[in-house]
């Protein structure tokens, strides 16, 4: 995984995609700050997820953004996506690897050095740590610290994605402590004060 210092945003979709979303996504990706886009749909039929996925995938390709599927290596395979992201309760990394080959597979490691070591051993392409801040997008079960980020950076060279309530006020601290990518969702899509393009412009 190549790391582009300017494109440090790992953008996660809202859990529901409405019609205006696609235009917003185009405008956000035009800012050239996003390296990855993760489709995270919790509800809906497989058919609906595939239709939405195909549309988003075309947009991502246009802007040279890697397109990943959350939780589901089967959908990633069907769409020929760039990869998938696995939580601790999802399919095992080895099984996902059999399905999608040498595509990108990332693993959630919460706030655990132990889980990080397991993911590294199983040859994950990146690990996600968090939550670093309070988040409205997901219930916070695991709280991660800057200290954990420093520890993890000492034991592995694979890219680290920081997650959890990241916004224009708190993102710099994570980058300064060598998080490679910042997973952002609510700040872009559910911002009461800013439109998606305005929000992303504040993250420089």
For 5, phi and psi rounded to 5 degrees?
-55, -30
Residues with Cβ < 8 Å from 204, sequence gap 6 or more?
Answer: none
Q: What total of structural domains would you count in the chain?
A: 1
Let me know if residue 83 belongs to a domain.
Answer: yes
Neighbours of 20 (CB within 10 A): 9
Residue 42's pLDDT is what? 86
Residue 47's pLDDT is what? 96
Mean pLDDT of the chain, nearest integer: 95
Residue 36, pLDDT > 70, answer yes
Strand partners, 86: 107
Residue 144's pLDDT is what? 95
CA distances from 56 to 45, 77, 81, 155, 203 (A): 17, 15, 10, 35, 22
Note the pLDDT tens digit of each residue in 102-116: 999 999 999 999 999
Note the pLDDT tens digit of each residue in 42-95: 899 999 999 999 999 999 999 999 999 999 999 999 999 999 999 999 999 999
Let me know if residue 160 belongs to a domain.
Answer: yes
Let me know if residue 1 belongs to a domain.
Answer: no
> Which pLDDT band holds residue 141 (cuts at 50, 70, 90)?
confident
CATH number reported for the structural domain that contains residue 19 in this entry = 3.20.20.70
Residue 4's pLDDT is what? 72
Residue 3's pLDDT is what? 67
Residue 136, pLDDT > 80, answer no
Torsion-angle region of 117 (φ positive above 0: left; ψ -120 to 50: alpha; else: beta): alpha
Name the nearest CA neighbour of 27 among 72, 71, 59, 58.
59
Q: What single DSSP character describes residue 20?
A: T
Contact 60, 22 (CB under 8 A): no
Let me know if residue 63 belongs to a domain.
Answer: yes
Let me know if residue 175 belongs to a domain.
Answer: yes
The alpha carbon dihedral of 192, 35, 98, 17 has a sign of positive
Strand partners, 183: 10
Q: What is the domain extent for residue 131?
A: 9-201
Let me know if residue 36 belongs to a domain.
Answer: yes
> Which pLDDT band holds residue 134 (cuts at 50, 70, 90)?
confident
User: Going by DSSP bridges, is the β-strand pair 181-184/9-12 parallel, antiparallel, or unpaired?
Assistant: parallel
- The average pLDDT across 97-102 equals 97
Let me know if residue 3 belongs to a domain.
Answer: no
Note the pLDDT tens digit of each residue in 118-129: 999 999 999 999
Residue 101's pLDDT is what? 97
């Amino acid at each position: 995984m190549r790391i582009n210092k300017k494109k440090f945003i790992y953008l996660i979709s809202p859990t529901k995609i409405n019609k205006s979303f696609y235009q917003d996504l185009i405008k956000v990706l035009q800012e050239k700050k996003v390296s990855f886009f993760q489709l995270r749909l919790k509800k809906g039929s497989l058919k609906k997820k595939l239709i939405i996925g195909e549309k988003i995938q075309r947009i991502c390709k246009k802007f040279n953004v890697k397109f990943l599927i959350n939780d589901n290596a089967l959908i990633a395979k069907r769409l020929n996506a760039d990869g998938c992201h696995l939580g601790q309760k999802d399919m095992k990394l080895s099984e996902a690897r059999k399905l999608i080959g040498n595509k990108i597979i990332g693993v959630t490691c919460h706030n655990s050095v132990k889980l990080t070591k397991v993911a590294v051993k199983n040859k994950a392409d990146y690990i996600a740590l968090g939550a670093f801040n309070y988040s409205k997008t997901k219930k916070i079960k695991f709280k991660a610290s800057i200290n954990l980020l420093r520890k993890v950076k000492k034991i592995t060279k694979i890219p680290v994605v920081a997650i959890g309530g990241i916004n224009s006020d708190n993102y710099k601290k994570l980058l300064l402590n060598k998080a490679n990518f910042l997973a952002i969702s609510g700040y872009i899509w559910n911002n009461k004060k800013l439109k998606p393009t305005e929000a992303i412009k504040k993250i420089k």
